[in-house]
Structure 1
Amino acid sequence: MSLQDHPAYPQEQAHLQKTLSLIARETGLAREEERERREALEDTRRRSGEGAALMLHELQYRMTSQALHNLQLAAKAPYFTRVDFTQSGETAPTAYYIGKAGVLDSRTQTPWVIDWRAPLANLYYAGQLGQVSYRAPDGEIEGELSLKRLMTIQDGQLQTIFDTDVVAQDAYLQNVLGQSKDDRLKDIVSTIQREQNDIIRAPLRGPVVVQGAAGSGKTTIALHRIAYLLYVHRGELAPSQMLILAPSPLFLDYISAVLPELGVDQVRQWTFPQLCARLLGKDMPRLQTEDPLFTLLDPAAPQAQKQDLALAARLRGTLAFRDAVARYLEQVERSLPPKEGFTLEGQTVLSGEEVLRLYLQDLKPFPLKRRMEELKKPLRRRVSEMLGALIAAREERAAAMALLLRRTSPEDSPQRRAAMQRIYAQRDQAVHALREQIRVYPAAAAAALTPPRVMDAYIAFLSGPVPQGIDPQAWAALSRVALPALQAGRAAEEDLPALVLIRRYLYGLHEEMAIRHTVVDEAQDFSPFQFDLLRTLAGNSSFTLVGDLAQGIRAYRGTTAWREDLSAVFSDPAPAFLGLTTSYRSTVEIMRLAGTVCARRPYPGMVAAQPVLRHGEAPALFFVKPRALGGALAARIQRLLDEGYRTIAVIARDENECRPLHRALQKALGQPVQRLTPKDTHYAGGVMVVSAPLAKGLEFDAVLIPDVSAGRYPGSDLDARLLYVTMTRPLHRLYCYCTGELSPLLKAEDFEVEG
């Protein structure tokens, strides 16, 4: 049925025009209010510069600016659905339109568009036609849902209308999912499914852990959850109190449009190393340029080196390693205070017992550097109290010498006068020196308590004996892997949790942050130590952790079992473990192949992904000669471009494979091909060559895997995870090429074999 043939088209078109007119009017009012708020803010800055009045005006201006921004977004697509709901006790249904941002008629104070995060919006996300209910602030609201109408509006133009039942809703979803991919992740407010909605609206308190299949919308759901929490807890939560940790700067750029589309900005979005750089300040080391993962992937790397890397990485992520670092820091703490205390000219300033009580008890909440500074205060007070007596002693000594001189030289003579002058000059010099000594004494004495440099402390810890509870073999591997690099001034990402912990204990953090909720994407790549550090830094357990163990290509250092690894970190409240099993990204045919690979190397508790019923071409397998690979890839890419696909990725196993592929494709295609590297911070779409680890989290119209031979994917768990990641990136097309014997993770009958 065409748009114009839908019986409700005239009615909905008229309502849309009325809505756009209302938004235009409200936008004008909001723009004027923003101007007034800005002028008031600037005037307050000029007059007072700071204080409560300035904070109030800044808050009012931000709120007005946000309201204006939301109206400008609403002008392009005011809403995406209409629900007709008859509340119990009423006789006729009320039509509610739901959109990305609420729109209020300021003249009548009537909600014209309901915000998707409002309780009533659950009628769309969770309600089926018939008797339904939703939870409002005043309690449970019951009634009958008689209509769910889905609409697509672009740039103020009505594009589609679906009166939903199961068939129509699937058709609408497939219409959205079937579109070509561009260079940014988009919001999904119009297609949020029930299992996704439950995660978005989970309570703020406590950790929510989401095991999500590839393409299940984990990242997007986590971002929508941030927008939801800020809406529900407005006035209590600020965007700057939300933290997103993502796997790479490239990925952060890829997801950068979602929150602004939802009317949210100023959320902190970093990688874990970027966060650590802010916490460590000048103590942030240079990171090693060589990713250990690529060494583990290199078939030519010695097996002993790979074993050391894996053991060292795993150890540094354990809570046992955290505990060993903490015990070492306590040893450093106890070693610094002088047992004999502090003395001045043979007199006790602070006894050893007093120093220990102040340093190890009264000042215990402070970092060691701060304790050193705080100890200057009692030292300064005590020596100030001693100053009078010390000066008096010098004056008495000078007076005694003068008296002796008078007795031994009774005659007043130039010689005696000169001697008397020397006595009093020496007294004055001694008093002056004493005052100077008293002035610098607190700092000089406290300097004995100066903690070691962060890196020096870490190196000393790793150079020591095997700590209690640590496997000696893993400790030896860590010494071999980490110490030479650290002594040369370079650290691995796995060293950062320990370095942050040491900096916090010794000096305090370079930047303190008020974080009320933390989102970790690709959480399976984080270790228990990292999670514990984040919990400690935030001072709360309000987390959203999303990941997929099937994509755990960094399992050698990360999480291998959600419950076992996270229950030891989060205990009060215990984590809520939720699942997203439906995959919305790839076609049934692509997900069937990826699931086959995953099943051949399963992880504990694995649940197979269930693709949305969207069919497409079956994945194809081509056997080619190595010298013909570049030409074959280029020919396929050109065909895909001719078909209108906009994002096409050649996903290699590692960075070493990317280099020659990129050169060959540039030459064969005769046009620029982007090569994505770990240093890249901008994702532009188009045709690209990228390694599998870097492609994780991204999605493309089509993916070409350049070599699925046994030489590239011998069949280990890591090979299976890499291949699964690669195969679950495309929305529409997947092409695999083999230059030799096929990987044991694949079988020819899995494909439509060509060539």
Structure 2
Amino acid sequence: MREDVESLDIADVTANWVNAAVLQRQIDDRIKALADLSHTPLFFGRLDYLHAPGADEAEGGEGERFYIGRRHVHDAVGDPMVIDWRAPVSQPFYRASKKDPMDVGLRRRFGYTGGDLTAYEDERLSDPAEAEVVSALLQAEIERPRVGPMRDIVATIQPEQDEIVRSGLSGSVCVQGGPGTGKTAVGLHRVAYLLYAHRERLARTGTLVIGPNRSFLHYIEQVLPALGELEVKQATVDDLVAHVEVRGVDSADAAVIKGDARMAEVLRRAVRSHITPPTESVVVVRGSRRWRVPGHELEEIVRELTARDMRYGAAREALPQRIAHAVLVQMERSGEAPDDRVQDAVARNAAVKAAVKAIWPAVDPAKLVLRLLSDADFLAEHAEGVLSEDEQKCVLWERPARSVRAAKWSSADAVLIDEVTDLVARTHSLGHVVLDEAQDLSPMQYRAVGRRCTTGSATVLGDLAQGTTPWATRSWAEALRHLGKEEAVVEELTVGFRVPRDVIAYASRLLPHIAPGLAPVSSVRENPGAFEVREASDGARDVVAACVEALEREGSVGLIAADARIPDLASALSDAGLTYLGPGEETTAATRLTLVPASLAKGLEYDYVVLDEPAAVVDGEPDERTGLRRLYVALTRAVSGLVVIHAAPLPEQLGA
């Protein structure tokens, strides 16, 4: 297929060089999309239907056989050889069962090792005598060692996951999933499915995946390209609101208040305060005539525009046209016949411009937020009845900045500027947005994301038990309300495929203390995993020794520790001659060890995890509950085994 595209000759098929350049760009993109992916087989399953599609049992006729893969593949004459996993005919591969075979007689799974076909497994769904068994190849794929970035799960999607993946574009979905339930993979595969089912629409409106940090985005960035989707953008929330350079850090209390949804009302008031009711008439001179719009008429125009609750900037642009229209009415009454060009000319008149500047001045979002955080009187005026005096004092800067450029903006400040920017001019909306690790967003951050999909839909992914920010959401209903997607369906994934049984059972001891209402994850893995808790006798040396032991096995190794302990552990690893990577960097056969600060562990996974000093992880957070949630995240990053090393007593919530 790639060679066919490469052989296309477009020398004489375009009218001009512009069309030729556009067509060549499309061909280059198609060639790029058809590139071979090493160790990624094109097909992973086969369906043997009992009857031809659309035929029933009475009509007879032998069914067709379809190979299921990541991409559609056809032969030289265009006949399909592999069917895209997202096609309707592929759905029974994920949904068919003994109880509901969906007209499938045989389902075959293929197993691969390093890209070579090494095994296959048949399941005869139409044979009542054959017992339904757990797929050995499915188990092998789930437990295969992790080296490198996150990979797709098209060969192992489960029925409950497939139902979410194939949900329609018009509705939003919120997925609550514990560690290892595949919520991130489900969200990414839903994007791939929606691009397949609604490609033209999403090509116009765009799609976006939002992750918690750059390390996480780097870890997942190869999943969609492996499925043939190269155009999906990825960003963090900080990227979306990057109106100013972030150089400052808020205290936890200040960040919580700035992230509170009440700040939206404070900002709205501050923006609207710039509107000044007119007191004088506007006199427009055209030729020998003077046309006067009285103050009371201007006041009525301003009142109407304010009542319509338009964007501040849109109303400001409409105001001169409304004033000009009032002048044109007077012209028509006097017998003139002005047209649209006259109205535009009047709207550009110096007197009209001056009036608009006085009544409805331009607002610079960054300057407005700067004044709000620097001027106690200005903040008090617009926060009255919304924020208490103590809350106002908490968000005010101790050292007010003289200019936007000199200010030490925080991440929360940037979100406030984004809110004002949207109050002034509407934010561009995308067709679909995936928001991962959503439990850590503040209400104002939810609003920032929601602005990017007001006319589109969203897939919200997260785990309330893993909320590790002081402003972490308390319920999905609350989060979806701030996002503007109250109608979203909330789905819960409780079956774990990644974390070993013993490990998830140990970590789940924390759930009653961090998320009492959540059901613990039940692991389907047959291998219980390697799990050990060791009391350290020689500090960092014991940690290094555990890493050496883990590296003797196949797969990736993650050393997770409290952020404050990372420098000492880095020195200990270097002294021992162990090379290591930072979180999000791609592991290789030569370098399989990653040193991970606990604050960056969320969303990542490693075959073997060495967790250093759980008590230090808890103590590194502002409060105990947040610390226990951080510990829960760190404990659940392992795929095959976990070693917990401690010198200090373990947190009592973990039990004996």
Aligned counterpart in structure 2 of residue 450 of structure 1, from 361, 365, 369: 361
Counterpart residue number, 1:99: 69
Aligned counterpart in structure 1 of residue 511 of structure 2, from 598, 614, 629: 598
Q: Match of 2:520, SS?
A: coil
1:150 aligns with 2:109: yes
User: Residues 476-521 of structure 1: CA distance to partner in whole angstroms, max 9, x if unpaired?
Assistant: 3533568858986123222333211212333x36xx5340111100
CA drift at 1:327: 3.0
Aligned counterpart in structure 1 of residue 165 of structure 2, from 200, 205, 216: 200
Query: How do 1:536-555 and structure 2 match up within 5 A?
Result: 536-540=451-455, 542-554=457-469
1:467 aligns with 2:390: no
Instruction: Give the paired residue count.
Output: 610
Cα distance in 2 between the residues matched to 1:196 and 1:486: 53
* Alpha-carbon distance change, 700 to 540 in structure 1, aligned in 2, over 3 angstroms: same
1:534 aligns with 2:449: yes
**Paired residues of 1:285 and 1:490 also in contact (CA < 8 A):** no
Counterpart residue number, 2:337: none
Counterpart residue number, 1:416: none
TM-score, normalised on structure 1? Answer: 0.73
- Structure exhibiting the larger radius of gyration computed from Cα positions: 1
Cα distance in 2 between the residues matched to 1:71 and 1:672: 32
Report the AA paired with residue 68 of structure 2.
I
Query: How do 1:447-526 and structure 2 match up within 5 A?
Result: 447-448=357-358, 449-462=360-373, 463=376, 464-465=379-380, 467=383, 470-472=386-388, 475-476=391-392, 478-480=394-396, 489-506=407-424, 508=425, 513-526=428-441
Q: Match of 1:615, SS?
A: coil
Report the AA paired with residue 738 of structure 1.
H
Cα distance in 2 between the residues matched to 1:701 and 1:289: 36
Counterpart residue number, 1:339: 279
User: Residues 459-481 of structure 1: CA distance to partner in whole angstroms, max 9, x if unpaired?
Assistant: 44453227355351662353356
User: Residues 227-254 of structure 1: CA distance to partner in whole angstroms, max 9, x if unpaired?
Assistant: 1001111222218610111101111111
* Alpha-carbon distance change, 237 to 713 in structure 1, aligned in 2, over 3 angstroms: same
* Alpha-carbon distance change, 131 to 588 in structure 1, aligned in 2, over 3 angstroms: closer
TM-score, normalised on structure 2? Answer: 0.83
**Paired residues of 1:620 and 1:736 also in contact (CA < 8 A):** yes
Cα distance in 2 between the residues matched to 1:248 and 1:691: 13
User: Residues 551-580 of structure 1: CA distance to partner in whole angstroms, max 9, x if unpaired?
Assistant: 1111x22311112442465467x1101011
**Paired residues of 1:130 and 1:146 also in contact (CA < 8 A):** no
Cα distance in 2 between the residues matched to 1:240 and 1:630: 52
Structure 1 portions without partners, runs of 5+: 1-25, 134-142, 278-283, 293-304, 387-437, 750-755
* Alpha-carbon distance change, 740 to 81 in structure 1, aligned in 2, over 3 angstroms: same
Q: Which moved more, 1:480-489 or 1:231-240?
A: 480-489
Cα distance in 1 between the residues matched to 2:493 and 2:363: 47
Aligned counterpart in structure 2 of residue 126 of structure 1, from 95, 98, 101: 95
Q: Match of 1:698, SS?
A: coil
Aligned counterpart in structure 1 of residue 573 of structure 2, from 665, 674, 681: 665
Aligned counterpart in structure 2 of residue 210 of structure 1, from 165, 175, 191: 175
**Paired residues of 2:202 and 2:432 also in contact (CA < 8 A):** no
* Alpha-carbon distance change, 543 to 692 in structure 1, aligned in 2, over 3 angstroms: same
CA drift at 1:598: 2.5
1:706 aligns with 2:612: yes
Q: Match of 1:558, SS?
A: coil
1:31 aligns with 2:6: yes
1:236 aligns with 2:201: yes
Cα distance in 2 between the residues matched to 1:70 and 1:664: 45
Cα distance in 1 between the residues matched to 2:651 and 2:401: 36
* Identical amino acids, percent of aligned pairs: 26
Aligned counterpart in structure 2 of residue 578 of structure 1, from 491, 498, 509: 491
User: Residues 617-672 of structure 1: CA distance to partner in whole angstroms, max 9, x if unpaired?
Assistant: 442222224xx222112122122223233x22221222x221222122212x2243
User: Residues 711-738 of structure 1: CA distance to partner in whole angstroms, max 9, x if unpaired?
Assistant: 9549921121011100111111211111
Report the AA paired with residue 653 of structure 1.
A
Cα distance in 2 between the residues matched to 1:569 and 1:675: 33
Aligned counterpart in structure 1 of residue 638 of structure 2, from 730, 734, 754: 730
Cα distance in 2 between the residues matched to 1:471 and 1:385: 46
Q: Match of 1:286, SS?
A: coil
Cα distance in 1 between the residues matched to 2:323 and 2:389: 47
Report the AA paired with residue 526 of structure 2.
R
User: Residues 167-209 of structure 1: CA distance to partner in whole angstroms, max 9, x if unpaired?
Assistant: 7643212211222211201011000011110110111112200
Report the AA paired with residue 517 of structure 2.
G
Aligned counterpart in structure 1 of residue 135 of structure 2, from 164, 170, 184: 170
Report the AA paired with residue 180 of structure 1.
P
Counterpart residue number, 1:688: 594
Cα distance in 1 between the residues matched to 2:178 and 2:27: 37
Q: Match of 2:101, SS?
A: strand
Cα distance in 2 between the residues matched to 1:214 and 1:519: 18
CA drift at 1:162: 1.3
CA drift at 1:615: 2.1
**Paired residues of 2:248 and 2:408 also in contact (CA < 8 A):** no
Query: How do 1:292-441 and structure 2 match up within 5 A?
Result: 309-310=252-253, 312-332=254-274, 334-335=275-276, 338-343=278-283, 350-359=293-302, 361=304, 367-369=311-313, 372=316
**Paired residues of 1:80 and 1:150 also in contact (CA < 8 A):** yes
Cα distance in 1 between the residues matched to 2:401 and 2:118: 59
Cα distance in 1 between the residues matched to 2:292 and 2:585: 60
Cα distance in 2 between the residues matched to 1:162 and 1:172: 7
CA drift at 1:709: 3.5
Cα distance in 2 between the residues matched to 1:77 and 1:547: 30
**Paired residues of 1:239 and 1:265 also in contact (CA < 8 A):** no
1:179 aligns with 2:144: yes
CA drift at 1:256: 0.7
Structure with the higher fraction of residues in helix conformation: 1
Report the AA paired with residue 607 of structure 1.
A
1:697 aligns with 2:656: no
Q: Match of 1:265, SS?
A: coil
**Paired residues of 1:349 and 1:382 also in contact (CA < 8 A):** no
**Paired residues of 1:216 and 1:582 also in contact (CA < 8 A):** yes
Report the AA paired with residue 437 of structure 2.
E
* Alpha-carbon distance change, 629 to 385 in structure 1, aligned in 2, over 3 angstroms: same
* Alpha-carbon distance change, 659 to 155 in structure 1, aligned in 2, over 3 angstroms: closer
Report the AA paired with residue 531 of structure 2.
P
Q: Match of 2:423, SS?
A: helix
Q: Which moved more, 1:370-379 or 1:723-732?
A: 370-379
1:159 aligns with 2:118: yes
Cα distance in 2 between the residues matched to 1:101 and 1:375: 54
CA drift at 1:674: 3.1
User: Residues 285-331 of structure 1: CA distance to partner in whole angstroms, max 9, x if unpaired?
Assistant: 222454x6xxxxxxxxxxxx6xxx23x33333333332332233223
Q: Which moved more, 1:226-235 or 1:358-367?
A: 358-367
Aligned counterpart in structure 1 of residue 41 of structure 2, from 57, 72, 77: 77
Cα distance in 1 between the residues matched to 2:547 and 2:39: 38
**Paired residues of 1:162 and 1:168 also in contact (CA < 8 A):** no
